[in-house]
Structure 1
């Protein structure tokens, strides 16, 4: 019985704030649940509601209603509807929040996958730098080596064809190229002999 009295005292303390619409949502929910269960508190609420509403109407010079119980029932129903709407809104907010979190997770995972598919920047330039820092096609030393190899092969082919005029004009250069060619021929012959043995 002490628990019932304690609950009743708490409910009776909340009657005036209920009539003045000053209760929080949790207090309002607990208060309405108790008033539905306890006939003593319900009767007390009806008495207080009739008194406070009558005083308020007299102060404002408005007509008084003959049926305060019906007005109280309407107020209780509207408060219960307000509580249901509030709970529904909380559930809807949680659902929307979870959908937003899910969507953000999906989008971020897709964007991370796209970022991982981006090729890495090349670490080596597409051209080869020499000691001078000049790309190969502009390097004068490379050009000289390439030209020398081309000249040597030209000399050899022209000598083989028997162009003596070319030999007479470029005798010094020919001797250098001829020596290289002879050395290469000898090396090839030695390799061939070793392979056949």
Structure 2
């Protein structure tokens, strides 16, 4: 059974992981292409991430998301949904793997943030078995993050080795498979932030 507070935390966590996706994608793309990051965009993303974390803290500690905070986050939802849709739409599966590394790495890091958030939520709402299950995923997530970082670092220096190409191919495959779920989760945020089940 998922209560109102847990739905609010799920909504906030989904927003946060997708902000991280865009942040990582921008940073990794800039690194691979030897370009500078867009400072205004980076500042906007960091500002929204800070706002989501600030909203999440009191809810993790037992409160509920107040109306004013819910409303302050609503402008983020359509913007984030459009940006994540763009991240998917601009991905070219036929491009050289070097050009796809940032796309795959962004999904890996986003999922790592989502899993960490889910574990914190399970602990906060008194679901120790769920928290333990998520804790068991930590070594796998750490390995995937290492792969993603290696892929970006290698591609920033030149062409990926066969091993790194394998990482990129797999990360991209998983990212593509998750597209509809990610966009649904962001789109559901106005409902989840109210503490309601978006499937009702």
TM-score, normalization by structure 2: 0.25
Q: Which has the higher contact order (CA 8 A, sep 6+)?
A: 2
Structure showing greater radius of gyration is: 1
